[in-house]
Each structure stands twice: as structure tokens, then as C-alpha cells.
A and B are shown apart, each in its own frame.
Chain A
């Protein structure tokens, strides 16, 4: 009698103790999470309906910010820029797949090559953009001296291109740099892991059927790694919508003539150059909705198999 009662009290105490420590363990992270993530999300949504320059009183404007945004020609141009810069994605994904296929063939020094291919990803950031501004230099940059040298060989006086100083060429220049940055990075590693996950028995079966290597790739490898491809593409698109600030800030300042201004850059300009806080918040919510659509696509199809 006594013992059972004692045990009961003991148990009760234990669960409350556990609950208290549970909250205690969570607390440091949770407070930060509230202050720097959850509450700001709500504030940002409210702010999108206000006009505020940080100094004067905030003024409620209803849907004005959004109406202005969608009727503004610039915004659509910056959307076009952002999507143009994402041209690097398909090219770099195919490149990653090719590299992974080669590295997967038990080459000697695969880890050495993997390290080298990872260098651009690992050191990405301001230094790389400073470097590429130099590579794209019109007079003696790496690209233009090479083009001129090539012209000498084929006896055509090629002059090179005004990469970062011409409206037409600034975006392609950034795309080239984007391919260089991403082709050997995360995507290649994900593809390598996916290739190693394809069961050997499938290839053996294909061998028995007398399939050549192209048929093996097209009918076994490609369908088996299609979930990885899908994941990589969606993630790159989600990342692509949010990128473009650092490179544009360092290399072109969003120019020439706004030709490299992405949505992110426009948000930054509005918020921190012109102090259009409400308008910037409104753009960030539009960006969020776009990204959310892609996340939804990922979720809805993630459960289903993409192959077969």
C-alpha cells in the first residue's frame, strides 16, 4: 500500500520534472526563435501595408504597396533579370551530372578532383566576385585576352567583349560565373551519392539483355536518379530567387542601367538605400509567395516517385 502510493508520487514528480526540463532546454533557442524569426515574420506582413521611412510616423496605405509593385515596369524587369540569371541552373546541373558520372567510374584521384571542383563553392563570396570582376576586365582580363589570342590564331581581329560594362553582356557574364561556381559543388556531391545508390543488380540485368552503355544510362541510371535531379532543380530555383545580391553589389552595382538588378537587390535598395521599409517588406512577401509555390511543388511530388 505504502510502496504503491510512494511510487505514484515519484512518477508524477518525474513527468513534471521532465516537462520542466523540456521547456528549460528549449528556452534559449525558443526565445531567440520568437524574437528573430516568428515575431519578425508577423511584423513584416504588417509592415507591407504601411509606408514608413524609419524617421516619420508609419502611415497605413492598405494594398497600395502591392498595387504599385505590380504596376511598376521596373519590378517586372528585375523579375526578368532574376530569371535570366537562373539560366545558369540547367547548364550547371547537367555539368554536375556529367562530372559525377565520370568521377563514379573509380578513377584514381577522385577525391583530389572532388576537392578541386569544390573550391569555387567553398570560397564563394566577396573574394570570388572581386576576382571575377577582374577576370571580366575589358582590357586585360582573362577572358578578353584569351579571345584576342584566339583571334590572332585564326587571323581575325577579335576585340573581346565589354562584359560588365555593357547592358547586353552583364547578365551573360554573371551566368558564366554562376556556372563556374555551382557546377562542381553541392549538386555534384548529391549526384555522386545518388549514383552510388543505384542497385548493381539493375546494371547486371541490363548487361544480360545486351544493353550498351548509352541504353544503360538512359533506361537505368537516369530514371533511378531522377528524384535527385528534381530535388536539385527545385532547390536551385528556390535559391536562385533569393540570390543575386552579393555578386551584383560587388561586380556591377546592379547596373549597367539596372541590367543586373535582381529582386533581392531591389529589396535591399528599397530598404537600406532609400528607406522604403514598407515597400521593401511588400516585395519580400511577394518573393516569399513565389518561393512557397516551389516548396509546395517539392512537397506534393516529394512523396511520389518521379521515376518509372
Chain B
């Protein structure tokens, strides 16, 4: 009797120890992950801090180091200054960026889904060879085609137009490949039924394939939109006039103009980053799915 009691007690102590140990580990995990999260987010908070500080107090000598880490004031004057300064049209750049990103996204989704449907479902001579060519060019880095495409656009006098920014990004082998892979997984029954009912091939694409592929299309659209919104190098190369600049190019130019006026620079950066963060919070699911897809592909 007494031995079993002792065993029970021992077990209890052991359990409690284990429980305590697990609690410590859990606490440590939370601590580490929160510390990391702080390091990730603090630069953004600092960006905001600087953007609401008056320039005059920003550079003042301070007594303690941490005073540099908090806002040196609170006013939205800098945002107003960014929007109203006469040197660079910030509002126009916003519209330009939205226009370029939306057009690129629409173009990519439309042409890639058409081509993807063609590769996935229709039969015609030479299909496999063309598809192989698509796959082969997916390995070629963008730098290789950058120079000839610039020369081509230049010879067509398209430099400094939106066409030059948008068109080279519209016809992606990657989008076509991704959508083809997705279309292949769709069941054929619905299409067969539609065919029997006399639906045209375009009707099948438009009324059956596209609605069934909403998640894949949304993933491709989100990625394309983000990529286009952040694209810096290509618009920098093909755009010359200030009023046509997209936001990243404008921001870079802005920096060269107001080199040390960090309050204004941070206000402008804030306005550039916020929309993309909001889009991300709403489209997070598509992002995560898209990344997983890219991992499986490899």
C-alpha cells in the first residue's frame, strides 16, 4: 500500500517537473519570437517616428541615447510637405504606380491564363516543343533580355512611355507555367458536359476554367501586383520625365533631391509602404499558398 502511494507521489513530482519544464520552454519560445518580432517591426516604427518629427528637433543633441529612438515631436507637417512640394509630383507618381501595376496584373493574368489553358487542354501540332521553349526561358535571368529589350523599345521610340514599362512584364513564362499546372488538376467532367451542351472553347475557358481557378489566379495576380509595385530597375531605365515616374523611381529621385531631410524622406517612404502592407494583410492567404507552390515546384 505504502509503496504504491510512494510511486504515485513520485509520478506526480515527475509530472509536475515535466510540466514546469515545458512551461519554461514555452516562455522561452514566446520570449525569442517576441524579441525577433520587435527587431522586425522596430525599423518601421522608427520610420513612423521620424516621419512625424519636426526636422529642427530631429538633429538636436540629446541627453540619452534612447531619446533618439522615440519621436522628437508629433506633427503631420512632413506628409503635407511631401504632397505639396513643387519639385516632384508625388500624387501623380501614386496614380502612375497604380496604373502600371493594375495594367501589368491584368495583362499577365489574361495572357497567361489563355496560354495556360491552351497548353493544358488543347491538342495541336508543335505544342510540346513550344512548351519546352517556355520552360527553357524560365531559367534565363532578366538581365540577359534587359539590354536588347531596351534597345528595341528605343528604336520604336517607346522610351519614356507607359507601354515600355508595362509590356515587357506582361508575357511571363512563369505565369503560364503555373496556371497550366493548376488547370491540369481540374476535373474534365464539367468541360465535357459543357462541350456536349454546345459550349465553344472560349466559353469553356471563360465560364468554367476561370471561375474554377480563382485561387490560382488570385495568387498570380497578388504576386504580379506586388512585383510590379516594387519594381525599381526597369522603370528607372525606361522612364525619363518626372511626371511619368512610378513611386519607387520618384522616391529614389526624391532622396537625391532631399538628401538629408530624413523627416520628409520617411514621410514619403511611409506613404509608399502603407498601401502594400494593407494589401498584404488582406491577401496573406494567397501569398502563403503561392510561396508553398513555388517550393513544391522545385
Contact = CB atoms under 8 A, between A and B. Distances in A.
A21 to B, nearest CB: 5
Given A116-B41, A134-B265, A126 B112 contact: no
A28 B199 CA distance: 22
B109 to A, nearest CB: 11
Most buried by A among B32, B133, B146: B146
Nearest to B149: A40
Interface in A83-132: 98-99, 102-103, 105, 107, 113, 115-120, 122-128, 130-132
Contacts of B123: 15, 18-19, 22
Interface in B115-172: 115, 117-119, 122-125, 127, 130, 133-134, 137, 139-152, 154, 167-168, 170-171
Contact of A118 (B201, B280, B294): B280
Interface in A249-292: 249-250, 264, 267-268, 271-272, 277, 280-281, 284-285, 287-288, 291-292
B114 A26 contact: yes
Contacts, number: 267
Contacts of A228: 295
A182 B269 CA distance: 20
A47 B139 CA distance: 20
Given A37-B137, A122-B280, A288-B140, A116 B37 contact: yes
Give the size range of B's interface with the partner: 35 or more
B250 to A, nearest CB: 9
Given A18-B124, A127-B273, A134-B262, A268 B233 contact: yes
B171 A21 contact: no
Contacts of B122: 18-19, 21-22, 25
Main secondary structure of the interface of B (DSSP, over half): helix
A241 to B, nearest CB: 8
A82 to B, nearest CB: 13
A30 interface: yes
Contacts of B64: 149
Contacts of A231: 295, 298
B26 to A, nearest CB: 8
B43 A132 contact: yes
A216 interface: no
B269 A19 contact: no
Given A271-B150, A288-B141, A22 B273 contact: no
A15 B240 CA distance: 50
Nearest to B298: A231
B298 A235 contact: yes
Interface in A128-152: 128, 130-135, 137, 139-140, 142, 145-146, 148-150, 152
B23 to A, nearest CB: 13
A165 interface: no
Contacts of A234: 298
B68 A180 contact: no
Interface in B59-74: 59, 64-66, 68-69
A32 B33 contact: no
Contact of A186 (B44, B68, B149, B291): B291
Max chain B Cβ within 10 angstroms of own Cβ: one of A25, A30, A47? A25
20 contacts: A18-B201, A23-B124, A28-B114, A33-B134, A33-B137, A37-B140, A37-B173, A39-B148, A40-B144, A54-B151, A102-B33, A115-B284, A116-B40, A122-B226, A126-B247, A130-B255, A130-B269, A133-B255, A135-B46, A142-B42
Given A127-B248, A189-B291, 4 more contacts: A18-B124, A29-B176, A37-B173, A103-B33
Interface of B: 26, 29-30, 32-33, 36-37, 39-44, 46-47, 50, 58-59, 64-66, 68-69, 110-112, 114-115, 117-119, 122-125, 127, 130, 133-134, 137, 139-152, 154, 167-168, 170-171, 173, 176, 201-202, 205, 226, 229-230, 232-233, 236-237, 247-249, 251-252, 255, 262, 265-266, 268-270, 272-273, 276-277, 280-281, 284, 287-288, 291-292, 294-295, 298
